[in-house]
Every structure is written in C-alpha cells, then in structure tokens.
C-alpha cells in the first residue's frame, strides 16, 4: 500500500509538472500574441502621422531634393563619397527639430495613453548604374544612422515599418569639359523605429485576467492534489488503526472466551458435578470472565465518546481530599511494592468543580499507563498549582517514554505506540483518547512532554470556577 501511494504521488507530481509546462507554453503564446497585437495597434495609430503632408514634404521634398543635389555634386567629383554622405545626414539634422516637433504634436493629439519615442533611420542609400552598385550610406546593427526623431539605441526598440524609395535621377555631367545629361537609379531604404519604455508592463496589464485565472487554477489544482493525497494517506492511516484495533480487541477477547469455553465444558464433567467445591470454583471463573468481557465492551462503548457527547455531572470537592482518595484507590488496585507516588498538591486548598467519576477515570488512565510502561521501580509525581485562574495538574513518571514522532498521535482514537497485534502491554488504544475528551469536556487542555528512556510528563489545565 505504501509503495502504491509513493507511485501515486510521483505520478501526480509528474502530471502537475506536465500541466505546468503546458500552461507556461500557452501563456508564452498568449504573451507573444498580445505583444504583436499591441504593436499592431500602435503602428496603425501612428501610421497616419508618418503619411501626413507636412512630414511627407519634409522627408520627400526638402530632404530628398537636397540629397539629390549632393549626389549630383558627388557624381561630378565636387566632393568625395564620404563628404556626400556627411552632407546628406547634415541636411536631415537641420530639419530634424521641425520634423520631431510636428511628429510629437501629432502623437499628443492621438493620446495613446503611453509614452512613445520615434526615430527614422536610413538603412541604405544605393546608386545603380547598369551592373554597378555604389553604396553611399549603409547602416549596421552596431551603427544605425538616424535621419529624424529622437536619438536612442536600445534592445527593446521595435521596427514598425520599412520604407523603400526607388527613383531615377538625372544630373548634368560636367566632367571632361563637356556637358551631358546622365541618369542613375537611386534606392533609399529607411525604417520607422519606436521605443515604448513600459510596453512589457502594458502587455502584462492586458494579460492580468489571464495570468490571475491561470494562477488560481494552478493553485486550485495543487490544493486539490494535496487534499487528495492527504486524504489518501489519512485513509491509509485510519485503515491501519482500525486493523490494529480489531487485532488488539480480538486478542483481548480470545482469553476470556477461551476460558469461558473451557469452564463450560468442565461443568459437563461428572467429576466436577460431583464436587461442590470444584463446581463453585468453575462458576466463579465463568463469572469473572463474564465481568471481564463486560468491562471490555463497556470500555469500547464509553471510551469512544467524544467531548461533545459526554454528559458531565459536576460536583464540588477539595483538591487535597480528591487526590488523597485518588492515590489511595490507585495504590490499592495495583498492590505493587515497586510503586511510589509523590503527592505535591498545592498547600492552599482549592475547591474543584468536576465530574468526579469521569475526571478520576481520565487521571487513572494516565497513572495506569505510567505503571504499564514503567521500569522496575515506578515513580509517579503529582504536582498541582494555580496559574491565571487555571488549576494545573502535572503528572510525571520515570517510564520508558514516548518518541517525538509518536507524541502527536497519542490522543488519537485507537492509537497505540506499538504496532500490530503483538504488544508487551495489553490495551485497545482508547484510554488516552478518552482522557483527552474528558479534559476537553471540562473546558480544559492536556499536553505531553516525553523523551525515550527519560519518562513522560502530562500537564492538565482546567478552569477554576
């Protein structure tokens, strides 16, 4: 059974890990989808700005015409390629303040609700003459050449648009003393780049409902799994306890039943019938075993009651008188020379209001266990004192003690420290359960402190009325 539970726990954990992996994969896909939709919405919202008349004229007419002029000068060898590229960028820088101001004013009109930084970079500027390609400007990933907008270069920037401007340009070639009109093909590739600093928070905010529901479902599954495994372990424990109880009570019942069977058969023998003394002894044996059976049944029925089911009939009694009677009756019942009980009841007399029968039975269970699980010479100490309107009873012994792992179960119904149906000491595992229920019925509490081979101490607290 234990191996099956371990296999079930391992299988459940693996299933949970698989479920977590699937859920993480789905959340990642949802995140990517939300991110793409967010960037698409942003692109659609600002696309009209870039296509506006003013920005289009600044880019295509002002900067574009000046760029072609510088390219014509370059083609006529008035300055080098590097100087031409520099002048083209300088032309962009000259009109950039007007371009950026207008762009940001249009952004404010849209009112997207989040801050956007924009720039237009030039990816490449190429001149085609037949099969010859002349590269004037070429951006790299490490060196992106900005034309317009704000200057930023961050890893989380996004390219929202790529523009390709292809045109044919004419220029007057004045080289060699002759004037000729020549043409070349011009390709300008630019990219619109934006930076939204809090875009991750915005995307996560839009996913908040999904994330919370996923987290709640995940926690629910874990709780359900934990609850199921815990119940399974508890059921296994309860089954083991019940089995142990059945074995124990079967063991307890066998002796009186066997004795009754032998005695009953003996009564049928003529020799027993002919001897009045033997006949009387046999009847006494039957009577004693019958009483023992009755006590065993009463113990199961009475000690199985919970604190809510026990009806108390409280009486007032002085604590000194109560404990003197308790100790005297207990010693008389045990008839053991190797038993010492130290009585340290508080000097100031306290009137207790208790159900004398039930409370005495509860304390006798503790005293009886002290003798059962004792060494050669049993020493029991009973001390009492008053603390914050509570009457404290401390009962300690020098017995074999209880391990820490077993202490948490000591007040459970049917629980016994030893396992199975083989015990050094007879019992049904109901005594300490009954004691605990009686103390609870008196609105009190009971705790245990114990170490193996060092004895056990019980502390009982009941209110003083």
- Range from 43-57, 163-177, 341-355 that averages highest in pLDDT: 341-355
| Residues 229 and 298 grouped into a single domain | yes
List CB contacts of 379: < 8 A, sequence separation 6 or more.
340, 342, 397, 398
| Residues 231 and 151 grouped into a single domain | no
**pLDDT at residue 437 in the model:** 87
| Residues 241 and 109 grouped into a single domain | no
pLDDT, mean of residues 246-255: 63
Domain membership of residue 391 (yes or no) is yes
Domain membership of residue 309 (yes or no) is no
**pLDDT at residue 423 in the model:** 46
The whole domain housing 393 covers 315-463
| Residues 128 and 217 grouped into a single domain | no
List CB contacts of 184: < 8 A, sequence separation 6 or more.
75, 127, 128, 129, 168, 169, 171
Give the model's confidence band at 15: pLDDT under 50 very low, under 70 low, under 90 confident, else very high. confident
| Residues 267 and 238 grouped into a single domain | yes
> Comparing C-alpha atoms, which of 265, 259, 268, 262 is closest to residue 293?
259
**pLDDT at residue 353 in the model:** 92
Count how many residues are written for the chain. 465
User: Cα-flanking dihedrals φ and ψ of residue 156, to 5°?
Assistant: -95, 20
Whether 178 has a pLDDT exceeding 80, the answer reads no
Domain membership of residue 308 (yes or no) is no
Domain membership of residue 319 (yes or no) is yes
| pLDDT tens digit sequence for 159-173 | 888 888 888 888 787
Angle at 144 between CA 139 and CA 148, to 5 degrees: 110
List CB contacts of 293: < 8 A, sequence separation 6 or more.
253, 256, 257, 260
| pLDDT tens digit sequence for 262-316 | 878 888 888 877 888 888 888 887 887 787 677 667 666 665 556 666 778 899 9
| Residues 282 and 324 grouped into a single domain | no
Give the model's confidence band at 176: pLDDT under 50 very low, under 70 low, under 90 confident, else very high. low
**pLDDT at residue 2 in the model:** 64
| Residues 75 and 216 grouped into a single domain | no
Number of domains in the chain: 3
Give the model's confidence band at 157: pLDDT under 50 very low, under 70 low, under 90 confident, else very high. confident
Q: 206, 241, 258: which is the final residue of a domain?
A: 206
| Residues 267 and 406 grouped into a single domain | no
> Is-contact 402 432, C-beta < 8 A?
no
Distance separating alpha carbons of residues 91 and 55, to the nearest angstrom: 15
Domain membership of residue 251 (yes or no) is yes
Whether 43 has a pLDDT exceeding 70, the answer reads yes
Residue ranges of alpha helices (H) inside 114-207 are: 199-206
| Residues 186 and 288 grouped into a single domain | no
pLDDT, mean of residues 357-372: 86
Whichever domain contains 456, its CATH number is: 3.30.565.10
> Is-contact 343 396, C-beta < 8 A?
no
| Residues 214 and 100 grouped into a single domain | no
Domain membership of residue 310 (yes or no) is no
Whichever domain contains 264, its CATH number is: 1.10.287.130
Which residues, listed in sequence order, are joined to residue 448 by a DSSP beta bridge? 458
First-to-final CA distance of the chain: 50
């Amino acid at each position: 059974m234990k191996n099956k539970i371990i296999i079930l726990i391992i299988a459940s954990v693996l299933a949970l890990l698989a479920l977590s992996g699937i859920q993480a994969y789905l959340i990642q896909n949802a995140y990517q989808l939300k991110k793409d939709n967010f960037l698409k919405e942003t692109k659609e919202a600002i696309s009209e700005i870039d296509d506006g008349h003013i920005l289009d004229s600044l880019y295509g007419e002002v900067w574009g015409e000046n760029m072609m002029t510088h390219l014509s000068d370059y083609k006529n060898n008035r300055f080098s390629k590097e100087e031409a590229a520099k002048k083209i960028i300088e032309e962009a820088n000259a009109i950039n303040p007007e371009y950026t101001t207008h762009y940001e004013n249009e952004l404010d009109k849209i009112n997207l609700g989040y801050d956007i930084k924009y720039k237009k970079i030039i990816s490449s500027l190429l001149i085609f003459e037949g099969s010859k390609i002349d590269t004037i400007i070429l951006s790299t990933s490490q060196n992106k050449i900005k034309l317009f907008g704000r200057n930023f270069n961050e890893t989380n920037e996004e390219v929202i648009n790529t523009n390709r401007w292809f045109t044919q340009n004419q220029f007057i070639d004045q080289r060699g003393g002759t004037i000729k009109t020549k043409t070349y093909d011009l390709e300008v590739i630019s990219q619109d780049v934006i930076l939204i600093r809090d875009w991750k928070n915005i995307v996560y905010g839009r996913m908040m409902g999904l994330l919370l529901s996923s987290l709640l479902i995940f926690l629910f599954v874990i709780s359900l799994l934990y609850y199921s495994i815990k119940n399974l372990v508890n059921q296994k424990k309860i089954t083991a306890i019940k089995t142990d109880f059945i074995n124990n009570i079967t063991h307890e019942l066998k002796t009186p039943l066997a004795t009754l069977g032998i005695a009953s058969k003996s009564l049928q023998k003529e020799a027993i019938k002919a001897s009045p003394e033997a006949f009387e002894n046999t009847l006494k044996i039957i009577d004693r075993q019958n009483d023992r059976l009755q006590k065993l049944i009463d113990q199961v029925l009475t000690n199985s009651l919970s604190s809510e089911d026990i009806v108390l009939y409280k009486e007032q009694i002085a604590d000194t008188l109560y404990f003197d009677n308790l100790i005297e009756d207990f010693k008389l019942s045990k008839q053991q020379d190797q038993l010492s009980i130290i009585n340290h009841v508080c000097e100031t007399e306290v009137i207790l209001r208790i159900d004398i029968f039930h409370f005495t039975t509860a304390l006798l269970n503790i005293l009886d266990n002290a003798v059962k699980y004792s060494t050669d010479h049993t020493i029991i100490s009973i001390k009492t004192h008053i603390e914050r309107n509570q009457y404290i009873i401390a009962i300690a012994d020098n017995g074999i003690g209880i391990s820490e792992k077993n202490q948490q179960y000591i007040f459970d119904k049917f629980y016994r420290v030893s396992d199975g149906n083989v015990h050094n000491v007879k019992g049904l595992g109901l005594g300490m359960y009954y004691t605990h229920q009686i103390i609870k019925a008196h609105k009190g509490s009971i705790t245990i402190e114990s170490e193996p081979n060092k004895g056990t101490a019980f502390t009982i607290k009941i209110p003083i009325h």
